[in-house]
Structure 1
Amino acid sequence: MNSPVFSSLLPVVLLIAAGYLAGRRQWVGAHAIKDLSNLIFLLLAPALLFRSMSKVHFEQLSFTPVAAYFIGAGIIFVGMLAWLGLNRRAAVLAIASTFSNTVIIGVALVDLAYGPPGLVVLLTLVSLHSLILITSATVLIELMVAREHAASNSAPSQHMLRTVGRALRNSILHPVPLPIIAGLLYAQTGWGLPAVIDKPLLLLGQAFSPVALVLVGITLALTPVGTHLRGAFAMAVVKNVVHPLLVVGTGWLLGVRGLPLTVMVVAAAMPIGANAFLFSQRYKVAEELVTASVVVSTVLALLTLSAAMALAGRF
């Protein structure tokens, strides 16, 4: 593993380890996780994302690397449905096998490893991540629910349309994509951020990475894996290993090279994101397995991310 990879990953590992210690020693209890999560997602993340995108113009964005990421995710998603059957459990496990932790771990790691240019590439993905994956899974599951509980020809469709519309709205009016979109739109004005606003946003943004990574460690310390280790490991391998390999292949076919491909491969190698767990909770399907998969995937990512970063640097 080369020096840039080591120097980028070591702070991440140490901050997660510090959080794990705090959780094990009960310096931070389970009751505080929700408050810390709200602090990160409602204050620190929006400040970082808005400020990062407030200097980016549309011509700097490239969606081809993002397409490579989603094609890889789509192959896994369809493969999971083909393997497990067209049912709610399969859809939940498919979203868990494709949804990366692009914010808490991804933003922190990419910012440390690749700086602002890499962060812009990642945030282009982040702005569409939940919108495409969560909404697609919601549409699929609601179709299954409508089929299972159909009482008439019209009522299920109306219910599904309301749910899908709500999913689309929530995917946009969310503390992650909304500041990205707002910052990008503000950048097009050419006004720049006044120092009196830019400085507080900078300080809040700088707090994001350490607090978010410590929260990952606390969550790991307080989450039991239980009896689902084998299934969780299989899902973690699909997410952490198969997904980035597919992104490498699709990226090369689409002509993506250099930093954009590197960032997409690293994003695909990220562990399973918390939204997958929330999704399983919402539909009350495979909750314990998905929870265990998030934990195993996060631990495994310490190895797979190291490999992905080392290999991606050669593209």
Structure 2
Amino acid sequence: MSNLVFQALVPVVLLIFTGYLAGRLGWVGGKSTGDISNIVFLVLAPALLFRTMSNVHLESIDFQPVIAYMSAMGVVFVLVMLKQGFNRRAAVMGLASTFSNTLMIGVPIVGLAFGDAGLVTLFSLVSVHSFIMLTLVTVVLEFVVVAEENRARAAHGESAPLAVRARRMALTVCKAAKGAILHPVPLPIICGLLFAQTGLPLPGVVDKALQLLGSAFAPMALVLVGITLASNAWAKQIRSALTLVIMKNLVHPLALVVIGLAAGLSGLPFKVMVVTASLPIGANVYLFALRYRVAESETSAAVALSTIVGLASMALVMLSVPLLPG
């Protein structure tokens, strides 16, 4: 297994470092980074996701590890909220402690370590990962925002009608759910699964084109991670970000192991979920921090630090995975 970890992680490190070097030397930056990101997420990722799932039948997918994964996310999120209090900062901290970078880092790691079978398990999680967690956090954050506004109005002797508050909440939640579904990550997974159920094969020329595009995703995504790290002023926030990194990189996979073993899970799908739980913090966390104007610098630093530390913590988790049943 140690050789497998070495073979999976060393290419990841080299590609991230390549991107970091390109960013630091000024070869790529500014608007170019956004253009590369669009190519990775809007072109390469959908091709890989659709093609992988276009041959997968629903009855062959084991959703138990996915349920265990989401349960572990929920447990850690609630613990953070209880510790931090019911406020915007607590919700963002809870998301940072549970939301994995399943695409840019998860796909290359799982693909190299577990092959196509591992990717099918990962994509079954990805299809619901963003939808459930981002919608849930949006609901929590909107409740917090409404509560804060009500307190502010009450302090001034004002109050908005209940119907107005309920309508605003419903519109926000619907918008979040729609954005989570009509997204370049879950949408091609769902379309690929639907196509697979027809039993039709992909035309050869289409399949080859998707294969070529999909094979470019992993190296491009990892280089993009490095470029992003080079442009991120995260060093000043290391101390405040460290707690989030520990929660995400270590506590989250540990919670999943406990829940999974209690549920009697075993085999490759469970191991893939554990490795996925050890992945660094996903960039969507920073976007939420920006949207709700809370802990922006802290979450930005946590995303960067989690990625760097994650290379070691993922190695630790992957070396421990053979000890799990099956």
TM-score by length of 2: 0.95
CA drift at 1:226: 4.4
Alpha-carbon distance in structure 1 between the residues aligned to 2:237 and 2:5: 32
1:213-232 to 2 correspondence within 5 Å? 213-232=222-241
1:74-101 CA-partner distances (Å, limit 9, x unpaired): 1111011111100011101111111000
Q: Does 1:237 align with 2:231?
A: no
* Greater Cα radius of gyration, structure 1 or 2: 2
CA-atom RMSD in angstroms: 1.0
What amino acid is the match of 1:216?
Answer: V
Instruction: Say if 1:45 and 1:175, in contact at 8 Å, map to a contact too.
Output: yes
TM-score by length of 1: 0.98
Q: Does 1:61 align with 2:61?
A: yes
Q: Does 1:132 align with 2:155?
A: no
Alpha-carbon distance in structure 2 between the residues aligned to 1:228 and 1:305: 22
Alpha-carbon distance in structure 2 between the residues aligned to 1:157 and 1:38: 35
1:256-311 CA-partner distances (Å, limit 9, x unpaired): 11211110011000000011111111111111000000011000001000011111
Instruction: Tell me which residue corresponds to 1:174.
Output: 183
Alpha-carbon distance in structure 1 between the residues aligned to 2:30 and 2:286: 16
Alpha-carbon distance in structure 2 between the residues aligned to 1:313 and 1:282: 40
Instruction: Tell me which residue corresponds to 2:104.
Output: 104
Q: Structure 1: which 4+ aligned runs deviate by more than 3 Å? A: none
Q: Secondary structure at the match of 2:216?
A: helix
Alpha-carbon distance in structure 1 between the residues aligned to 2:64 and 2:247: 23
Instruction: Say if 1:261 and 1:312, in contact at 8 Å, map to a contact too.
Output: no
Q: Secondary structure at the match of 2:323?
A: coil
1:224-254 CA-partner distances (Å, limit 9, x unpaired): 1143211211100100000001111111111
Instruction: Tell me which residue corresponds to 2:77.
Output: 77
Instruction: Tell me which residue corresponds to 2:156.
Output: none
Q: Secondary structure at the match of 1:136?
A: helix
1:99-130 CA-partner distances (Å, limit 9, x unpaired): 00000000111111111100000001000111
Alpha-carbon distance in structure 2 between the residues aligned to 1:115 and 1:303: 21
Q: 2:306 aligns with which of 283, 292, 297?
A: 297
Instruction: Tell me which residue corresponds to 2:42.
Output: 42
Instruction: Tell me which residue corresponds to 2:270.
Output: 261
Q: Does 1:251 align with 2:260?
A: yes
Q: Secondary structure at the match of 1:19?
A: helix
Alpha-carbon distance in structure 1 between the residues aligned to 2:68 and 2:200: 33
1:53-92 CA-partner distances (Å, limit 9, x unpaired): 0000011111110111111111111011111100011101
Instruction: Tell me which residue corresponds to 1:9.
Output: 9
Instruction: Tell me which residue corresponds to 1:193.
Output: 202
Instruction: Tell me which residue corresponds to 1:26.
Output: 26
Task: Specify every segment of 5 or more residues in structure 1 that has no aligned partner in the other structure, as ranges.
Answer: none
Alpha-carbon distance in structure 2 between the residues aligned to 1:192 and 1:252: 38
Alpha-carbon distance in structure 2 between the residues aligned to 1:226 and 1:266: 26
Instruction: Say if 1:72 and 1:243, in contact at 8 Å, map to a contact too.
Output: yes
What amino acid is the match of 1:224?
Answer: A
Instruction: Say if 1:146 and 1:157, in contact at 8 Å, map to a contact too.
Output: no
